[in-house]
Structures are given as C-alpha cells and as structure tokens.
Amino acid sequence: MVDVESVNFFTESTLVNDPYPYFDELRGRCPVHPVAQPGVVSVTGYAEAVEVYRDGEAFSSCNAVSGPFPGLPVQPEGDDIGALIEQYRDQLPMSDFLVNLDGDSHTMQRALLRRLLTPNRLRDNEEAMWRLADRQIDEFIDDGEFEVGAHYANSFSLMVVADLLGVPERDREDFRRQLGALKPAPDVGMPAQVTSHDPLEFLHQRFTEYIQERRREPRSDVLSELAFATYPDGSTPELDVVVRLSTFLFAAGGDTTARLIASAMRILAENPEYQDLLRGDRRRIADFVEETLRLESPTKSDFRLTRVTTRVGGVEIPAGTTVMMHPGAANRDPRKFDEPDRFRLDRSNVREHIAFGRGAHSCPGGPLARAEARVSIERFLDRMTDIRISESAHGPAGARHYEYEPTFILRGLTKLRLSFTPIG
C-alpha cells in the first residue's frame, strides 16, 4: 500500500498502471485531502468534485491543464487572490485556450464554440464517422490483428475532428502525417513519429491560412462558417481566437477519445460475452460506452486554483491552493456508485458519471466522443468476430500485463494489441 502522505502522485511510477487503490486510500481518509506536493489538495469524492466543478467563483480554471506546474510566480497570501490571478494568468501555460479561461472571456468563447458545434454539424459529422471507421479498419482487416491506438483510434479520432471542422479532403492525409497518426510499420507499437515540428504549430499555420482565405473569399463550407462565426453580441472574433479554438479541439478531442476507444476494446476483448450481447442488441452499446467512461475515465487529473478561501465537503481550502480533480476517482466513489470497481452494464445512474467534468467548463465534445466510441464498437462488431487480447503482447488470461501512459493528466493504455477473425 502506498503512503499517501509521502508519495509524489505526479512522478510515482507505481501509481501509473493502477492509481485506484491510491485514490481509494485518499478518499477513505477524506474526499478532500492534501497530497505530498505542497499547496495541492486532491478531490477524490464524487459530491465534492461536482461542488468544485460547479463553483467558478471560488475556483479559477487558469491552471486547469497545468496544475501546479509552474503555478503562480509569487507566493499567494490572504483569503482572496482574484487580483493576483488576473495579474499573472498570462504567464501560465496555455493561458489563452478556452479551458483555462474564466468569467466573461470564457462565456464568450464558449458561445462561439456552440455556434460551431450545431446539431446539424454534429449529425453530419456522425455520418462521416461510419466512413472514417471503415476506411481505418480496411487498412488492417486482412491481418487478423491490430494495435488499437496506432492502427485505429489515433487516426480515427483525429480525422473525426478534421471532418468536424471541415478540413478539405485533399489536406487530410497531410494532417495524419504531420500529426503522427499514420499506420506505423509492422512491429512498431506506436505511431510513426514523422512530424518534423510541433503539431500545434502545424495546426495553427493551417487554420490561420484557412480562416484568412475564407474571410477573403467565403464559400459554402464549414470553414467559412467557422470564419464568420460571431459572438452573441454580433461582433467578429479576432482571427487568432478562431484559430486557437479550432486547434484546441484537436488537442482536447484526439487523445482522450482514442484512450476511451482503447479502454472499451480491452473490456470487450476480455469479456467475449459482451461481444455477443452487444452484437445482438446494438442499443446497449451506448450503455457499454458510458460504463467504460465511468470505470476508466480518460482524464486522470484536472485542476483549479482556489480564488477565495472556501469550504468543500466540510474542509477549508485556502485561497491559492491548487485543487486536483480526478474524474476517475470520483466515478469510483462508493457513496455514489455501488460496487464501483466492477464493470456493470445495468447501472441505472451510470450517466451521472463526471468523466466529462461538470459546470461551465464541462466537455462540449462529450456527444462527439460518445458517438465515436459507439460507431467504432459497432463497426468492429460488424466486421470482426472472436475479438481477443493478443497473448503474445499481453500474456495469457489470468496473467495479463497492460502498461498505461506515464502521465498524471490522462489515463490510457500505451498499447492494446487485439486478434480477431474477419467477417466476410
């Protein structure tokens, strides 16, 4: 058992493959509990996490992605550090991305995003997912085996966002290449790193060109809608704002969804009875995805900076404290979910999980991620039978080994190799 008082959650390698006993230990002591890193409090309880997510007044999102690294450059003092946050927020990593904004600037950009992710756009995007899934599966169907991330999910999730934003068809292969999501050479477990530069820089350049071009010469395409989307007051956002919003969708929607698909496929391959059940009743696939989101929440940590001294779950959190949320811990809180460590398809309250956060910043890509996982599973079941874990990669049943990515931000398998029998 790890010593929660002394273990460094951010660097401790033994917590990577299975962080859940650590989360349980913390929650058992108190759902709002300081960790070894000074000035950081961990929230492992469901009700407490929802309370923090919903309170944008007391908790700033300025550090949502970076947490305590590097934190504010000065030592905060007093019970209200609102002014200090405003003074230094520009110095925090990714400070001008939606997820790190607060108050009006967040509301404005979020409204812009809502204008882009219209029900019509999402419907068209879901239609495209079927083609994108098939195209990806075509690349390995004859092999009888594949690595879920490198051969399918990384590329698929990237191409779904490219389609959502209307990236022209002729440029998409370049996106796959530049963002390192092409099918790797045989026997190489991870995507070929063919990028010669920062992927976000590549996206930034491309979207700047697209939006500038459409603002000069509008067409009837999604990129033109993006270029002319306005704030609720009718004003037009700066070019940079639209570009940042677009590039952020790739960053926010790619890795997370790819991890979700891999977790779902591990559970499906480990439990063949679910393959039969879901093949027989496709409507249950949505429940399957939901329970996967609860049990293996892809966002492992997500942060807030306490603006004013506040109490959560009866515990005082001083202003200046970094609050570390763990959706995966909250989603295994036994006060909320019975038998929280078990995968159960019949949970009546499964949709109350907080894998997509809650409150003003809750994930706007939730419907998209759910559809991506649902469509993927459905196409796997249509085109493959007897989907099983590759024993040469992960060991025999009862003695499996899986490696998870050594990051405190995401929960995801480094690789998942599956074997199957093609249908047809």
Asked whether 17 and 402 are in contact (CB, 8 A), the reply is yes
Whichever of 32 and 354 has its CB closer to ligand HEM, that residue is: 354
Closest residue to ligand HEM using C-beta atoms? 365
Tokens encoding 178: 């530049």
Whichever of 137 and 368 has its CB closer to ligand HEM, that residue is: 368
Asked whether 81 and 320 are in contact (CB, 8 A), the reply is yes
406 residue type, one letter: P
Nearest approach in angstroms of CB 59 to ligand HEM is 10
Nearest approach in angstroms of CB 254 to ligand HEM is 8
Residue among 163, 164, 153 nearest 191 (CA) = 153
> Over the Cα atoms of the chain, what is R_g?
22
Asked if 361 interacts with ligand HEM (CB under 6 A), we say yes
Asked if 288 interacts with ligand HEM (CB under 6 A), we say no
Asked if 368 interacts with ligand HEM (CB under 6 A), we say yes
136 residue type, one letter: Q
Q: What does the DSSP 8-state code read for residue 153?
A: I
Query: Site for ligand HEM (CB under 6 A): which residue of 163, 302, 333, 405?
Result: 302
Query: Site for ligand HEM (CB under 6 A): which residue of 247, 257, 301, 322?
Result: 257
Asked if 67 interacts with ligand HEM (CB under 6 A), we say no
Q: What's the gap between Cα 22 and its chain centre?
A: 21
Asked if 320 interacts with ligand HEM (CB under 6 A), we say no
* Per-residue x/- track, 133-172, ligand HEM (CB under 6 A): ----------------------------x-----------
Asked whether 308 and 85 are in contact (CB, 8 A), the reply is no
Asked if 125 interacts with ligand HEM (CB under 6 A), we say no
Nearest approach in angstroms of CB 260 to ligand HEM is 4
Whichever of 223 and 368 has its CB closer to ligand HEM, that residue is: 368
**How many Å apart are CA 4 and CA 44, to the nearest integer?**
13
Whichever of 211 and 373 has its CB closer to ligand HEM, that residue is: 373
Residue among 256, 255, 278 nearest 267 (CA) = 278
**How many Å apart are CA 326 and CA 318, to the nearest integer?**
20
Residue among 139, 420, 423, 421 nearest 269 (CA) = 420
Nearest approach in angstroms of CB 302 to ligand HEM is 5
Nearest approach in angstroms of CB 53 to ligand HEM is 6
Site stretch for ligand HEM (CB under 6 A), options 207-215, 230-238, 360-368, 397-405: 360-368
Query: Site for ligand HEM (CB under 6 A): which residue of 249, 262, 319, 375?
Result: 249
Asked if 364 interacts with ligand HEM (CB under 6 A), we say yes
CA within 13 Å, CB half, 3:
4
**How many Å apart are CA 14 and CA 270, to the nearest integer?**
23
Beta bridge partners of 417: 147
Residue among 287, 337, 326, 318 nearest 410 (CA) = 326
Query: Site for ligand HEM (CB under 6 A): which residue of 32, 355, 384, 387?
Result: 355
The SS3 call for residue 338 is coil
Query: Site for ligand HEM (CB under 6 A): which residue of 260, 262, 308, 323?
Result: 260
Asked if 203 interacts with ligand HEM (CB under 6 A), we say no
Beta bridge partners of 43: 32, 325
Site stretch for ligand HEM (CB under 6 A), options 197-205, 222-230, 231-239, 358-366: 358-366
Asked if 64 interacts with ligand HEM (CB under 6 A), we say yes
Asked whether 196 and 285 are in contact (CB, 8 A), the reply is no
Instruction: Enumerate binding residues for ligand HEM (CB under 6 A).
Output: 61, 64, 98-99, 110, 161, 248-249, 252-253, 256-257, 260, 298-299, 302, 327, 355-357, 361, 363-365, 368-369
